[in-house]
Structure 1
Amino acid sequence: MRYVDAPVPSQVVLDLLARADLLAAAASEAILAGDDDRLAALLDDRGVVIDAVVSVWKDAATHRHTADQIAQMTRATGATLAAASQAHATAVVARDQVVCQLSALDARQQASQDYQSGTPHRSIDVVL
């Protein structure tokens, strides 16, 4: 590849941000599927991509960016932040569902123990 054909730094950053967005979406899917190993790998990969974005952007500091390039970067960064925010929201919902299920299980177990020990009145309201 000749130097003239090399992508400008802003295009590299845009491509990397798009990759980070795809990884965030895949992380959301892994959260919903409960695939912790895949989630960890995706988040590690996304961290590497974001580090690369920062590195390329710093190295491109001497490159004079046009207003259009800066606008593209701003939009892409906004989309990347939105993708990360969506993945976070998915994680919060999944966590809340697990906490709710664990609380209900704990209440049922406590009610069962209370019933077996002869004091069911206190725990009936919890289960109902």
Structure 2
Amino acid sequence: MIHMRTFFPKTAPEKLHALLAWSKLRQEQLTEAVSVTKDTVTEFLMRQIERGNWKEVQEVLRGKPMTKAGKFLLEELRDSVATKLIVRLGLRKVIAVGLAVVLLPLIFAKVAGQLMSKVRQ
């Protein structure tokens, strides 16, 4: 049985509310941003697993990318999410990057939980 601890910062909801108030995003935009982020994370992680980067994916999902490869994957994923938010939602770069930074830990926790439930079955 694989035990995977996920990173879920306690301040993420507060940061998200502050970002939403500052950026004046509508609820529909936030919902779309979450969907885009989740799809991007899932696609990215699956590509990395197919390439044999399972250890780095585990580090990223745990919230502790300690190796250079793990840190690189996390930075690449943040950039990818921010770019997709800019393109799909037409957000300004500063808002897209802020959303990516706040949403990624939340999405990681959810994706890690889904992966663990699949592994257990």
| TM-score, shorter chain, exceeding 0.5 | no
- RCO greater where, 1 or 2, for CA within 8 Å and sep 6 or more? 2
Structure with larger Rg: 1
Give the TM-score, by structure 1 length.
0.31
Q: Please state which structure has a larger fraction of its residues in helix.
A: 1
Give the TM-score, by structure 2 length.
0.32
